[in-house]
Structure 1
Amino acid sequence: MSQSDVDDVDLAHLRRAIELADETGDAGNRPFGAVAVGADGHVISEGANSVATSADVTEHAELDAITTACGEGRTADLVGATMYASGEPCPMCSAAMVWAGITRVVYAASSADFSRILADGPRFTLGCSDVLDSASVDIEVSGPHLGDEALAPFHRFLDTD
């Protein structure tokens, strides 16, 4: 695993992931969003957390983006792709990104940021970087960025300030 910097294009994709998070929060799900972008810079797919509305605990935003890309028969496009996530990917999503061939992860708010405002549910102390660092391939990780922006949908969802 290696660190990477972000530019204006990265920030635009992160902001789109945050918009998706806000939208899925309005639908009753915890607000997490993700955008998969190919090595050529084109958006491959978008995903949103739908755990509450689907009653499926695996319906995380990153997995939704990967599944959407696979469902469109474009799995090869994920090789070399970047995943932009409104929140630091969990261990399950991090592992799925390795299997999908994603080589860069950029996230907005950290798991620690969310832990400070979420009182319930299981948590991992194993971060995205820890999981990806154990992979046999090199995956760049950059984050957190735009943490306050990424937490805003959660504050609205939880009705807190």
Structure 2
Amino acid sequence: MNTIHLRRAIALAAEASDAGNRPFGAVLIDETGFVIAEGRNEVTSSGDPTAHAELVAIRGAADNSTTNATMYASGEPCPMCSAAMVWAGITQIVFAASEIEFSKILDGGPRFQLGCAEIVASANVEISVTGPVLEAESLAVMQR
């Protein structure tokens, strides 16, 4: 786990918020630590309800393989993003703020009973989920 990449995801969350979107960011790195793609939440600015930071990053990977990649996310990925990461072949997910904590701050959006770890555990692949890590830093951005 690399806190530099997680802090970058948190910085992208601040950028998303500054642009009028929900405060979520994501960084996708390959096995060597090379940044494949970054994403900010763009749901409001794009009008696309699937434009979550993690999916923006996956789409931004273009021709770069996401197989065996690691996703760093400022917030715990929702079920849609968690499932997309399974399909993309991502093998590690690291998130800063837990859904339990950020839902106390952020209004709107559905709440799910299953967390990221539970979603990916239901798949027939091995994916490591780590979090929360640097939760206070991410929550501070969400409280702005």
In structure 1, what is the equivalent of residue 40 of structure 2? 48
Aligned-pair CA distance for 1:35: 0.2
Which of 67, 78, 97 is the equivalent residue of 1:90?
78
Quick one: percent identity of the two aligned structures?
A: 60
CA distance in 2, matches of 1:101, 1:121: 27
In structure 2, what is the equivalent of residue 139 of structure 1? 127
Please list every run of 5 or more consecutive structure 2 residues that lacks an aligned counterpart in the other structure.
none
Alignment of 1:6-25 (within 5 A): 6=1, 10-25=2-17
**3-state DSSP class of the match of 1:145?**
coil
Give the aligned residue type for 1:143: G
**3-state DSSP class of the match of 2:72?**
strand
The CA RMSD over aligned residues, in Å, is 0.8
CA distance in 1, matches of 2:50, 2:141: 21
In the alignment, does 2:124 pair up with 1:149? no
Aligned-pair CA distance for 1:117: 1.2
Aligned-pair CA distance for 1:120: 2.8
In structure 1, what is the equivalent of residue 24 of structure 2? 32
CA distance in 1, matches of 2:89, 2:10: 23
**3-state DSSP class of the match of 2:104?**
helix
**TM-score normalised by L of structure 2:** 0.97
Aligned length: 144
In structure 2, what is the equivalent of residue 64 of structure 1? 56
In the alignment, does 2:123 pair up with 1:127? no
Aligned-pair CA distance for 1:40: 1.1
Please list every run of 5 or more consecutive structure 1 residues that lacks an aligned counterpart in the other structure.
1-5, 157-161
In structure 2, what is the equivalent of residue 159 of structure 1? none
Q: Higher RCO, 1 or 2 (CA under 8 Å, sep at least 6)?
A: 1
The structure having more radius of gyration, on CA atoms, is: 1
CA distance in 2, matches of 1:37, 1:119: 30
CA distance in 1, matches of 2:111, 2:34: 33
4+ long deviations beyond 2 Å? 118-121
Aligned-pair CA distance for 1:118: 2.2
In the alignment, does 2:123 pair up with 1:113? no
Deviation sequence 1:59-98 (CA, Å, 0-9, x none): 000000000002xx22xx2111000000000000000001
